[in-house]
Structure 1
Amino acid sequence: MMAAVAAGVMLSGTSLRAEEVLKAVSAFPLPMVLSQDFLEFVTDVNEKGEGIVKIQLMGGPEVMPSAQQIDAVKRGIIDIQYGPATYHLGSAPEIDAFVGATVSPEEARENGGFELMQTILQDRLGVRMLSMAQAGLEFYVWTVDKPKIKEDGSVDLNGMRLRSQPIYQSFFEGMGAVPVSVGVPDVYTGLERGTFDGIGWPIAGVTDFSWDKYLKYRIDPGFFNSDLIIVINPESYADLSGEARAVIDQAALEYERDSRQRLAELTAETDKKVRDAGIEVITLEGSTATDYLDGAFGSAWARLKASDSTHYDELRAAFYPSDAE
């Protein structure tokens, strides 16, 4: 009788294991559209992993400053984090490959780029990458006043103060603009007080905190690619049951595809909304647009090359195959 009970316990070990709970944070305030999209990943894991694994979203930067979140994941204080990888360029210059990417996450997984970056981030930051989020997320320059247009049709941003972040600081500097470092929660106040003349930001999310009340012009085309990723503490991941890891991995894979589709739909909706509200779009064309984009993507790869990373050639071939050196 006891032997039969013991055998039953052994066979049902998975069901007897308590639901594993992982704590997560977002680098952005939860009301922002990007954090709301991350919530789709959290919900998917919790539904697929009911009784197996659960993610508890603790909050955004009000819970823990964005710049400190990756270190908290490394130390095991937090299990999962979502946000811009470029906040940590100083520790992992290879992150610029995300910014300068012209491939989809699926292509990066197929050509070895995803696995390479996964290894780099674990070595450099002590975290395991789960997913490349919101692929296709392009950035734009938005301004309060109409920028000057040069004779060749390019925009003159010389001397303009633009709210910036590491992802496009060197690009702005290359155009003569003055980057201003301001946290997302303080952007509205900065625009209200005239602390800066414009910002760099995607179309999706620009209306979340009413920044469009002050921003009246947008320069097209968009540039760069998403630097948003989901990471997990390596020990937290290893300690999960095989069933729980399978749930997390599958949800992360599906999130790459689904977040890209949701982003495209939201971008189209928001673009129409801001145009209808009176935003004037200044569209660069022909060689002027090409030079503008070359300057953007080139700044990311030039910065990575200047870092003397031994992974430069591999990363460029994997993430920027259209012009690999």
Structure 2
Amino acid sequence: MKFNSLKRAFASVVMGAALPSMLFASPAQAEEILKAVSAFPKPLAFTQSFLGYVDLVNERGKGVVQIQHIGGPEVFPSSQQVAAVERGIVDIHYGPAGYHLGSMPEADAWLGSTITAAEGRKNGGFALMEKAFKDRLGVKLMAHIDSGIKFHIYTIGEPQKRVDGSVDLTGKRLRTSPVYKSFFEALDAIPVSAPVPDIYTGLERNVFDGAGWPIVAIQDLSWDKFLKYRVDPGFLQTDLSIVMSPAKWDSLSPEAQKILQDAAIEYEQKSYDQFQTIIAATDTKVQEDGMTIVRLEGKAANDYLDKAYDAVWNRMKASNSPLYEELKKAYYQR
């Protein structure tokens, strides 16, 4: 009996000593789950690339932070996704900065860029874009991934060349986006706006004579069934961003922030390298499957590119962006 009493007394002392630390110890940090949306459907090469970033974070962030991709345009229309991030409805968005040209004219800096995203981060261009995203759209810029992918004009019928070697697209109805609308106008084509899901039907019904699109993903969307000609060289480049809710970012632990930021910086270069391989493979495949390349050369090619780059940089200049001069110095080195 004395032994049992002694055990109980010892246990009371131990519990008494431990109680203050139990009362005042901070709870273990719970794993953060961040919800993400993408501007494009999941099967598209661009969304698949974004999911590579998601996988990288999830691999490194076990027990700390995870990203859950909840969908694409079927969840929120692409044009409304950044606003959903700003309001905190979702935490992360991946998609083109050019979708928001009306609110953020500085998006043209990436479209008119002649350098890689990694180079822009090193020379201070990325920091300028961080400011634009924060001031104009109310979101935190995390990364400019999938850079270095050129746009092309694709047509159903063979485009003719003029005597000087330039391509004649006068009066051609080309599906456009805000990104290259002014460039198409400079070529005397007729820009026709349409969301991505409607383009296949538009091509099928001859609503368009052609379309502007990056060199990749034409076959993902089955547009190559109609688009049999591609005009080279490619112009401008992709402007795909990963942005995050500032409030959510501020609520994360320093460890979670570091995982997200380190992965973003690493993935800018990784996605660039991956897409260079995809571009080469796509170019070979579409030509094997019957696409004809209409190649501009010499002065005709230079004039064509001048019109493309002038269109976007002049558009930003006309917007009176206070960042115009600095952004052009950082990103335009042609």
TM-score by length of 1: 0.95
Partner of 2:267: 255
1:226 and 2:229 matched: no
**Superposition deviation, residue 106 in structure 1:** 2.0
1:126 and 2:138 matched: yes
**Superposition deviation, residue 132 in structure 1:** 0.5
Partner of 1:72: 84
Partner of 1:92: 104
**Structure-2 separation of matches of 1:113 and 1:313:** 11
**Structure-1 separation of matches of 2:170 and 2:333:** 32
| AA of the residue aligned to 1:2 | A
1:2 and 2:14 matched: no
**Structure-2 separation of matches of 1:288 and 1:321:** 20
Partner of 2:123: 111
1:166 and 2:178 matched: yes
Structure 2 counterparts to residues 285-304 of structure 1, below 5 A: 285-304=297-316
SS at structure 2 position matched to 1:189: helix
Q: In the TM superposition, what whole-angstrom CA distance separates every residue of 1:1-41 from its partner, at most 9, and x where no partner exists?
A: 3268449945xx6xx11110111000001111111111101
Partner of 1:177: 189
Structure 1 segments, 4+ long, off by >4 Å, are 3-10
SS at structure 2 position matched to 1:230: strand
Partner of 1:34: 46
**Structure-2 separation of matches of 1:147 and 1:226:** 24
What residue ranges of structure 2 are gaps of 5+ in the alignment?
A: 1-16
Q: In the TM superposition, what whole-angstrom CA distance separates every residue of 1:269-315 from its partner, at most 9, and x where no partner exists?
A: 11111000110001100011011111101111010011111111111
**Structure-2 separation of matches of 1:261 and 1:321:** 20
**Superposition deviation, residue 320 in structure 1:** 1.1
Partner of 1:276: 288
Identity percentage over the alignment? 51
Structure 2 counterparts to residues 195-210 of structure 1, below 5 A: 195-210=207-222
**Superposition deviation, residue 110 in structure 1:** 1.7
Q: In the TM superposition, what whole-angstrom CA distance separates every residue of 1:162-196 from its partner, at most 9, and x where no partner exists?
A: 11001100000110111111111111111101110
Larger Rg: 2
| AA of the residue aligned to 2:88 | G
Aligned residues: 318
| AA of the residue aligned to 1:236 | K
CA contact (8 A) 2:147 2:272 kept: yes
Partner of 1:243: 255
1:51 and 2:90 matched: no
SS at structure 2 position matched to 1:146: coil
**Structure-1 separation of matches of 2:267 and 2:212:** 25
CA contact (8 A) 2:214 2:238 kept: no
**Superposition deviation, residue 321 in structure 1:** 3.7
CA contact (8 A) 2:58 2:66 kept: yes
**Superposition deviation, residue 262 in structure 1:** 1.0
| AA of the residue aligned to 1:251 | A
TM-score by length of 2: 0.93
RMSD: 1.4
SS at structure 2 position matched to 1:171: helix
**Structure-2 separation of matches of 1:3 and 1:277:** 74
Structure 2 counterparts to residues 8-23 of structure 1, below 5 A: 9=25, 16-23=28-35
